[in-house]
Amino acid sequence: LPQAKYKERGTVLAEDQLAQMSKQLDMFRTNLEEFASKHKQEIRKNPEFRVQFQDMCATIGVDPLASGKGFWSEMLGVGDFYYELGVQIIEVCLALKHRNGGLITLEELHQQVLKGRGKFAQDVSQDDLLRAIKKLKVLGSGFGIIPVGGTFLIQSVPAELNMDHTVVLQLAEKKGFVTVSEIRSSLKWEPERAKQVLEHLLKEGMAWLDTQAPGEPQYWLPALFTELYSQEITPEEAKEAIP
Amino acid sequence: MDRFSWTTGLLELEETLVVQQRGVRLSDGEEKVKFDSGVLLLSTHRLIWRDQKNHECCIAVPLSQIVFIEEQAAGIGKSAKIVVHLHPASSNKEPGPFQSSKYSYIKLSFKEHGQIEFYRRLSEEITQRRWENMPTGQAMQVNKDPQAGRIRAVGIIGIERKLEEKRKETDKNISEAFEDLSKLMEKAKEMVELSKSIANKIKEKQGDITEDETIRFKSYLLSMGIANPVTRETYGSGTQYHMQLAKQLAGILQTPLEERGGIMSLTEVYCLVNRARGLELLSPEDLVNACKMLESLKLPLRLRIFDSGVMVIELQSHNEEEMVASALETVSEKGSLTADEFAKLVGMSVLLAKERLLLAEKMGHLCRDDSVEGLRFYPNLFLTQS
């Protein structure tokens, strides 16, 4: 009997707290509405403010982009902004995949997305792109972010890129290409290991081989060709992008 | 240089200053002219140059006259330059310092640097063409009146004051927004703490919590964007919202799936659904969580995850293993195929084509030839011809 009483009490406690949470939730919703009425535009127009907003949410353990049904998304409109950006990112990556094997610099992605959005659309920053991409990872199609040099390479295919591959990509970032000798001298690897990594990148279409280079063969990364930057997406490529 | 007109330097009603730079020399094409040292101002509508020594001397050219611009890097003893190519002057242009010019371009020399930022801003203004949205009705005033000198000086000071006010205003707005944001986050933090405490209670009770309470709790977490402290998933499966969403998806995706051979990748679904919605878009997690419930809700679609991690939606009636049989036929006909080639032949996305070939390989029907030329699949003759 006493046990049943304790159990009952336990249920009541949880019920109380849930009721309390429900009330506080309503209050919070009102606070957020008020905030939105004053500052919604600020979030929409100011990329720095968006960064601060996201950072603060992360600090307290809240993900404003987790669901389109969340308060943040509904009232501040942050959801639609990032989810739509996600669609645009997917489209650009699909269109250019055959050129670069599914690797693209954040800069080029940014340029192409801006172009696709048109001149009257809301401006987006590189930070915005990174946050949208982090959300896309959960869809399972291989989206990933690889730090190289001072920037990032965005992966959009489910190719396995481990630490070895990543480190070689970082090495290649300086000049857009890399050689077996450079890998050996910078990373102190055995030639076999270097060759394996380079062959994997070749197979995935992320690297191209220049056997006619003076000295030894050079492995070029199309993702890093500056000449390819801002090259228009052709109509054929655009068709690839839309399922 | 014949595209320029005299001006007071006062900005018009809808015109705003974008950037300015001291120490700029103007050249008419390749020839030096008397405009040796001045302040170059970029507004939303015009490029304005004012002589640093003689403030009365002020000329401007509308941005709409610019065809394109080029950068010229600095050299030894030479400043960095911007070359501005211009349309021919219109016949009703206001009078300026030159009646004619044999050049269709001018050069801006940045003797005191500032070229990089100026070029960036000028490019932006030319691209954005803001002057088209903000027509200035007043005609440019002719600068011949000595009195105008005084007005013009006031004009420039006025511009600088406006800029300062604007900066202060922006700062004020930002700090107010930031303050409000901080207060809001404090309240949000309380919600997070409360949810943790409730989650602890749930753990303690070890299953004595009712299903109704669980559903309510999860929906609260959903609203706030708080990860489920109990399961660590972002609300895992089972909120009402995701159930409804799953049912909606079953309706929306039926036809597109049929049109695409019964199978679509989750990224394709994400794009398709969100493009159709236009507003109130789904987050990637919303989509995944809804799809995870398809099977348990006995809907005619299901979520499938391949070994590679690729996630797809299939019609229940779709049988990927059967498709593998037809894939084997196709590959045999052609001798061998890469994922790209197979995709083109069959009319599938490369992503899904590759998954099908990999599955066929897993089932033993195909063999791979993995070389630097790419991954190529052959019928597994070991199986058929042993």
ipTM of this model? 0.87
| pLDDT score, position A80 | 92
The residue that leads in pLDDT, B261 or A232, is: B261
Quickly list DSSP for A27-94: HHHHHHHHHHHHHHHHHHH-HHHHHHHHHHHHHHTB-TTS-TTSHHHHHH-HHHHHHHHHHHHHHHHH
Nearest CA in chain A to B173: A42
**B73 touching A, CB under 8 A?**
no
CB-CB under 8 Å, B305 with A140? yes
Confidence bin at B140 (pLDDT 50/70/90)? very low
pTM recorded for the entire structure:
0.69
Report the residue of B202, B224, B274 to disrupt the A interface, i.e. the one with the largest count of A CBs within 10 Å: B224
CB-CB under 8 Å, A24 with B191? yes
Report the residue of A18, A51, A139 to disrupt the B interface, i.e. the one with the largest count of B CBs within 10 Å: A139
Instruction: Please check the confidence at residue B150 and state whether its pLDDT lies above 50.
Output: no
CA distances from B292 to B45, B238, B253, B264, B321 (A): 55, 9, 15, 15, 21
A165 CB neighbour count, 10 Å cutoff? 20
How much is the average pLDDT of B114-133?
Answer: 85
Query: What is the distance in angstroms between the Cα of B96 and the nearest Cα belonging to chain A?
Result: 33
CA distances from B240 to B55, B125, B145, B219, B243 (A): 71, 49, 76, 8, 5
Joined together, the tokens standing for residue B243 give 């159930």
Of A134-148, B100-114, B134-148, B339-353, the one with minimum mean pLDDT is B134-148
Beta strand extents in chain A (DSSP E only): 103-105, 143-148, 151-156, 177-178, 208-210, 218-220
Residues A177 and A206: beta-carbon distance below 8 Å: no
Residues A38 and A49: beta-carbon distance below 8 Å: no
**B234 touching A, CB under 8 A?**
yes
Instruction: Please check the confidence at residue A6 and state whether its pLDDT lies above 80.
Output: no
Which residues in chain A have their CB less than 8 angstroms from residue B248's CB?
none
How much is the average pLDDT of B36-56?
Answer: 90
Confidence bin at B371 (pLDDT 50/70/90)? confident
pLDDT, averaged across chain A: 86
CB-CB under 8 Å, B275 with A141? no
CB-CB under 8 Å, B225 with A65? yes
Instruction: Please check the confidence at residue B61 and state whether its pLDDT lies above 70.
Output: yes
Instruction: Please check the confidence at residue A228 and state whether its pLDDT lies above 80.
Output: no
Confidence bin at B78 (pLDDT 50/70/90)? confident
| pLDDT score, position B149 | 45
Instruction: Please check the confidence at residue B229 and state whether its pLDDT lies above 80.
Output: no
Name the 3-class secondary structure at B263. strand
CB-CB under 8 Å, B227 with A139? no
The residue that leads in pLDDT, B179 or B269, is: B269
Query: What is the distance in angstroms between the Cα of A9 and the nearest Cα belonging to chain B?
Result: 11
pLDDT, averaged across chain B: 84
CB-CB under 8 Å, B225 with A66? yes
Q: What is the pLDDT of residues A194-222, one digit of tens each?
A: 999 999 999 888 999 988 888 899 999 99
Instruction: Please check the confidence at residue B145 and state whether its pLDDT lies above 60.
Output: no
| pLDDT score, position B175 | 80
Q: What is the pLDDT of residues B256-276, one digit of tens each?
A: 999 988 999 999 999 999 999
Q: How far apart are CA B328 and CA A49, in angstroms?
A: 54
Confidence bin at B139 (pLDDT 50/70/90)? very low
| pLDDT score, position B156 | 59
**B240 touching A, CB under 8 A?**
no
Give the total residue count for chain A. 243
